[in-house]
A and B are shown apart, each in its own frame.
Chain A
Amino acid sequence: MTTSPESRPVEAVKPVPVGGGASRKLRILGVGGEVAPASQLRRWASELDVEFEWSPDVPQAVRLLADERWSAVLAVFGDRPDEELSWWADTLRVANITQHLIAVADRPSMGLALRAERLGVADLLTRPVRRDAFQAALRRIASETETAYPFPIVQSHAVGPYALVGESPVMLEVYKLLARVAGTTVTVLLQGESGTGKEVIARAVHLSGPRAAKPFVAVNCAAIPENLLESELFGHEKGAFTGAVARKIGRFQQATGGTLFLDEVADLSLTLQAKILRAVQEREIERLGGGEAIPVDVRLIAATNRDLRAATDSGRFREDLYYRLAVMIIELPRLVDRGDDLVLLAAYFANHLAERYGKRITAMSHRVLDVLRSRPWTGNVRELRNVIERMVVVARHEMLSVEDLPPDLRGEDRVPADRTRGDLLTLAEAEARHIARVLSQTGGQVGSTAEILGIHRNTLTRKIREYGL
């Protein structure tokens, strides 16, 4: 995506049609204030065999967008360009109207340009719109043709409603450890970043053990409010506390004979850690508000995305409980360390989800593959699944293409091949882009962003203001 500086010379070339013929003619809907006479835009578009319609206001445009199919929207922003950009990007994404947005603004700021790029805007033009910039934007949209990368055949191993997919050396190590704990009831600690598949492995451990026929009960310690976690684990009698409207059987008791999976175990308070330790050691629990000791016989599997050893060193996690849980440790690798497992997982999810949504998906484009391979995948397999699901939901063809990617990923595909010297970034622009990217990764946390960038938070705050991020 590029901006269109006023100084760029007008191309004195005969326009080449880009519309794609009658069967796939590009259709653009312009919305908003005057940017150039609508008849002129229509003429410029028709020179490229592109159909152009104009809607003076947003409500009418929304109606037109809902009624007909459009290749792109050309939105003219008013005096609140940031808000309007977010709104349009959001509306087009959620309503699955079209993947392409051409934005037009008065003197767009660098901040707006960066945000537009991040949101996957096809082009940002300056008002008044000029013929060469307008036609270049149309050409860019038309040129996005993609070639197919057929999905490979995926061997998967079913684990209840989930599956184990992957052939990378790091996953083979995980499978070997799984085989070692199979047939035993040893306590297992699963360590790995968020989304690496800890619960799937926990289920696999359970299903490969002697308690497979008994219940597998999962508790997410980080999701449950602290004041409710104790009653969730151990149960309560009616009236034990405000909100205890009926007697509740705790998860320990529900898991009797089977496996209790304590996910995000590092989030447990020290008080609760002590109670769990006692339950594990004495093999009995007490419900809140009840005096009766209830015998429990469970296999424990715990998981964490943090360094539990370090937590014991800092006193945030009980050492005795740590040693109880970490009899066998399985480290799960990050997605970026799993090489071509990414392709296998993407193919598996696409096939699986296409079936669920009643679609047929057989391939993804090479450009999609490039985008997927270049991602840092902070959320690992869970994030990949989420991305593929979003793509499958919006896909209209058998091949997943760039236009099916969520907007935040589409921005990463925009490396203009025809970048001229005048389009190259200044140091400040490069810095602003990098800051914007890190901010997006940290969810806008100034402290964490400053830490990653290695600068003081005051410096970062100043730069954010300066670049209009």
Chain B
Amino acid sequence: MKVEQALRLLPSLEAMAPLRSLLLSVSRTDERTRWASAGHYLTVGKRSVEADDLRERLDALLGQITAHLRGLYRTVVEAIEAHGRGDAPAAIAALRRAGGLEERAGRFRQAEAWYEVALELAVELSDRSAELDLLRVRGALTRTLGRYSEAARHCQRSLALAEAEFNEGAVIDACEELGNINRAMGEWDGARAWYERGLSLNGTLGVRTGWLLLRLGDLARGRGDVEAAADLIGRAREHMEAGGDSAGMAQTLSAMGQVHVAQGHLTAASAAYREALAWARHGPEPANLEVDIRIRLADLALESGRWMEAESDLRQAEQSALAHGLAHRLVEIYTLLGRLSGRGGEETGFVFFEQALELCRALELDELLMADVCVAYGQFHGALGNIDSSRAYLERAGETYQERAQVGGVERVHAELSRLAVAV
């Protein structure tokens, strides 16, 4: 049975979410499908799933769910016990741990609920360290959920507390997170100011300095200041390398690859990405990083006209995302596959964008991601001469960017619409 047919049998219930993920990860494509004329346009919905494969893995899946619930229940018992003996910090720590468990399982809204309960207890303590820590993690989580103004409020409170407590480490954490929030909102000057403030306090803290330099370098690249970006990322690399931070090295090299792309040094970019892949294998969450880097490699190949290589990298990224339960990453992958088809003038490439949009809806992903897909879909239609559809998708993206105060996104859509008007 095709995945798209199987998914239709699953009602949209929270309890079914793990089964939905399993269904995607055990889906397969056989040699025959691969070479069929539809093989080139294969998306996860068209892969096959066998009931036997699902059945074989059900016990393991239920084991994971049980272990997760056991972890949560135990932390509640610990929290009750600690609270009963008047040890509020221990109760808060247990609840925070539960939030962390949910966050690692990708259950962000549930994690938020745990942090909220923990925070209610923490505000009553005279020692503010737990409160400022919880405010920061809530800020970061709310940013992940796309609620930037709220995220900024949590982090501002965390920063104020950290300064009052003279907790320099927490001040740096808050500055970095505020930088991340500003960056996510497209407020690049604000982001730079926060990162620089964090850096000014950081002195010689090694890897932490590396991360802040990396973020500043990434910002500089985004603003087109390639030389500054190369310098900052180069310095970040020294700190990451000295600190032996594999994930940091992978991300730094990946960022350096993007700088090389901006400089037009495509071979150097490719080498940097490949080296990043090597480092990513040793860091935490290697699959996520691998998918990230492969997407960049594919983007590079796409821009260099090496379409076959781009498709190969994207298919590997797709395989990795499916195998490691990272279905949300498929959205970017299919968007790029759609762009690839568009370059070749293949009208049927629309199936990739439709699949990406379908995943955004099914997995309830951030609307901004959906807006990004709509921009690419609009460009795809524009290139094929479907002006009405192109305009409709661009306008839809523009509305989302507007609602979420995404200045960069709004500008991008305006530019695309103007280009479209000229073409007409």
Contact surface of A with B, Cβ cutoff 8 Å: 58-59, 61-63, 66-67, 83, 87, 90-91, 94-95, 193-195, 198-199, 220, 222-226, 228, 243, 245-248, 263-264, 267, 305, 378-380, 382-383, 389-390, 393, 441-448, 457
Given contacts A263-B37, A393-B308, contact A59 B355 (CB under 8 A): no
> What are the residues of chain A within 8 A of B281 when measuring CB–CB?
83, 87
Interface residues of B in 38-64 (CB under 8 A from A): 38-42, 45-46, 50, 52-53
Report Cα–Cα, A267/B5, bound state, in Å: 13
Q: How far is the CA of A389 from the CA of B30 in the complex (A)?
A: 22
A95 and B273 alpha carbons, distance in the complex (Å)? 11
A-side contacts of B354, CB under 8 Å: 225, 228, 243
A243–B357 touching, CB < 8 Å? yes
Distance to closest chain A CB from B355 (angstroms): 7
Partner of B31, one of A222, A389, A441: A441
Q: Are B275 and A62 in contact (CB under 8 A)?
A: yes
Report A-chain residues with C-beta under 8 Å of the C-beta of B151. Answer: none
Min CB distance A155 to B, Å, is: 26
Interface centre among B41, B274, B358 (most CB of A within 10 A): B274
Contact partner of A264 (CB less than 8 A), chosen from B31, B38, B309, is: B38
Q: B238 to nearest A CB, angstroms?
A: 14
Asked if residues B358 and A225 are in contact (CB atoms below 8 Å), the reply is yes
Chain B residues lying within 8 Å of A67, measured Cβ to Cβ, are: 271
Binds A, one of B72-80, B123-131, B135-143, B389-397: B389-397
Q: Distance in Å from the Cβ of B381 to the closest Cβ of chain A?
A: 9
Beyond the given A225-B354, A246-B391, A263-B38, could you list 10 further A-B residue pairs with CB under 8 A, ordered by the A residue number? A91-B278, A194-B33, A195-B37, A223-B38, A247-B388, A264-B38, A379-B35, A380-B35, A393-B306, A445-B50
Q: Could you say which of B53, B274, B355 contacts A91, with CB atoms under 8 Å apart? A: B274
B263 on the A face (CB < 8 A): no
CA of A263 to CA of B308, assembled, Å: 23
Interface string of B347-389 (1 = CB under 8 A from A): 0100100110110000000000000000000000000001011
Once A443-B29, A443-B30 are accepted as A-B contacts, the answer to whether A222 and B52 lie under 8 Å apart by CB is: no
Q: Does B4 contact A (CB under 8 A)?
A: yes
**23 A-B residue contacts at CB 8 Å?**
A58-B278, A62-B278, A66-B270, A94-B297, A94-B312, A95-B270, A95-B274, A195-B37, A220-B37, A220-B41, A222-B46, A223-B40, A225-B4, A225-B354, A228-B354, A245-B392, A247-B388, A267-B38, A378-B35, A443-B30, A443-B31, A445-B30, A447-B52
Bound: A87/B276 CA distance, A: 13
Q: Please report the C-alpha to C-alpha distance between residue A228 and residue B350 in the assembled complex, in whole angstroms.
A: 11
| Distance from B246 Cβ to chain A, minimum over Cβ atoms (Å) | 10
CB–CB B393/A245 < 8 A: yes
- Indicate whether A389 sits within 8 Å of B36 (C-beta atoms), given known contacts A59-B279, A245-B393, A446-B52: no
B104 within 8 A of A: no
Q: Is B406 an interface residue (CB 8 A)?
A: no
Minimal beta-carbon separation of B249 from chain A (angstroms): 7
B309 contacts A194, CB within 8 Å? no
Partner of B35, one of A383, A393, A448, A457: A383
Q: Within B78-135, which residues are at the interface with A (CB < 8 Å)? A: none
What CA separation (Å) do A95 and B4 show in the bound complex?
A: 35
Query: What A residues does B4 contact at CB under 8 A?
Result: 225-226
Residues of A within 8 A of B29 (CB): 443
Q: Which of B42, B278, B316, B351 has most chain A Cβ within 10 Å?
A: B278
A400 CA / B174 CA spacing, docked (Å): 58
- What residues of chain A lie closer than 8 Å to B392, measured between beta carbons? 245-246
B34 within 8 A of A: yes
**In the complex, chain A residues whose CB is within 8 Å of the CB of B36:** 194-195, 222, 264, 305
Report how far A383 CA is from B40 CA in the complex, Å.
12
For the complex, give the distance between the alpha carbons of A9 and B278 in Å.
37
Residue B28 interfacial (CB < 8 Å) = yes
> Is A194 a contact partner of B348 (Cβ separation < 8 A)?
no
**Nearest chain B CB to A397 CB, angstrom units:** 20
- Shortest Cβ distance from residue B166 to the other chain A in the assembled complex, whole angstroms: 39
How far does the Cβ of A191 sit from chain B's closest Cβ, in whole Å? 14
CB nearest neighbor in B for A305: B36
Interface pair A94/B52, CB less than 8 Å apart:
no
Q: Closest CB of chain B to A307's CB: distance in Å?
A: 14
**Any chain A CB within 8 A of the CB of B66?**
no
B402 CB-CB contact with A under 8 Å: no
- The reply to whether the CB of B418 lies closer than 8 angstroms to some CB of chain A is no
Residues 314-350 of B contacting A (Cβ, < 8 Å): 316, 348
B267 within 8 A of A: yes
Q: Is the CB of B396 within 8 A of A245?
A: yes
Closest 8 interchain pairs by CB?
Answer: A379-B35, A66-B271, A245-B392, A222-B38, A223-B41, A246-B388, A223-B38, A194-B36
Beta-carbon contact of A447 and B50 below 8 Å: yes
Q: Least Cβ distance of A431 to chain B in Å?
A: 21
B274 lies within 8 A of A66 (CB): yes
A223 touches B351 (CB 8 A): yes
Are B35 and A194 neighbours in the complex by a CB distance under 8 Å? yes
Write the nearest CB–CB distance from A221 to chain B, whole angstroms. 8
Chain B residues closer than 8 Å to A220, beta-carbon distance:
37-38, 41, 348
How many angstroms between the C-alpha atoms of A96 and B285 in the bound complex?
Answer: 27
Kindly list chain A residues whose C-beta atoms are within 8 Å of the C-beta of B396. 245
Contact across chains for A457 and B52 when beta carbons are under 8 A apart: yes
B313 near A: Cβ within 8 Å?
Answer: yes
- B365 to chain A: closest CB distance in Å? 16
Residues of B within 8 A of A225 (CB): 4, 45-46, 351, 354-355, 358
- Of all chain A residues, which has the CB nearest B281? A87
Which A residues lie within 8 Å of B277 (CB)? 87, 91
Residues from chain A with a CB closer than 8 A to the CB of B351 are 223-225, 228
Contacts of B275 in A (CB 8 A): 59, 62-63, 66
* Chain A, Cβ-Cβ closest to B389: A246
In Å, the complex CA distance between A224 and B41 comes to 8
**Whole-angstrom distance between the alpha carbons of A267 and B2 in the complex?**
11
Residues from chain A with a CB closer than 8 A to the CB of B38 are: 220, 222-223, 263-264, 267
Tell me whether B46 and A378 are in contact (CB under 8 A): no
Determine whether the beta carbon of A444 is less than 8 Å from that of B46.
Answer: no
Q: Decide: A198 near B388, CB < 8 A? Known: A59-B275, A225-B354, A445-B28.
A: no
Residues of A within 8 A of B297 (CB): 94
A247–B391 CA distance with the chains assembled, in angstroms = 12
**A residues less than 8 Å from B308 (CB atoms):** 389-390, 393
What is the chain B residue whose CB lies nearest that of A63? B275
Q: Is B35 in contact with A382, judged by CB distance below 8 angstroms?
A: yes
What residues of A have a CB within 8 angstroms of the CB of B388 in the complex?
246-247
Closest residue of A by beta carbon distance from B377: A245
Known: A66-B271, A225-B351, A393-B308. A198 touches B37 (CB 8 A): yes
Instruction: List, in ascending order, chain B residues with CB within 8 A of A457's CB.
Output: 52
Residue of A nearest to B249 (CB): A59
A195 surroundings in chain B (CB, below 8 A):
35-37
- On chain B, the residues within 8 Å of A193 by CB distance are 32
Chain A residue with minimal CB distance to B391?
A: A246
User: What A residues does B5 contact at CB under 8 A?
Assistant: 226
Whole-angstrom distance between the alpha carbons of A246 and B392 in the complex? 7
Docked Cα-Cα span, A347 to B400, in Å, equals 52
Chain A residue at minimum C-beta to C-beta distance from B35: A379
Closest to A264 in B: B38
Q: Inside 8 A of A245's CB, which chain B residues have their CB?
A: 389, 392-393, 396
Report the Cα distance A446→B348, complex, angstroms: 31
CB distance from A344 to the nearest CB of B (A): 20
**Beta-carbon contact of A379 and B274 below 8 Å:** no
Write out the residue numbers on chain A whose beta carbons fall within 8 Å of the beta carbon of B37: 194-195, 198-199, 220, 222-223, 263-264, 382
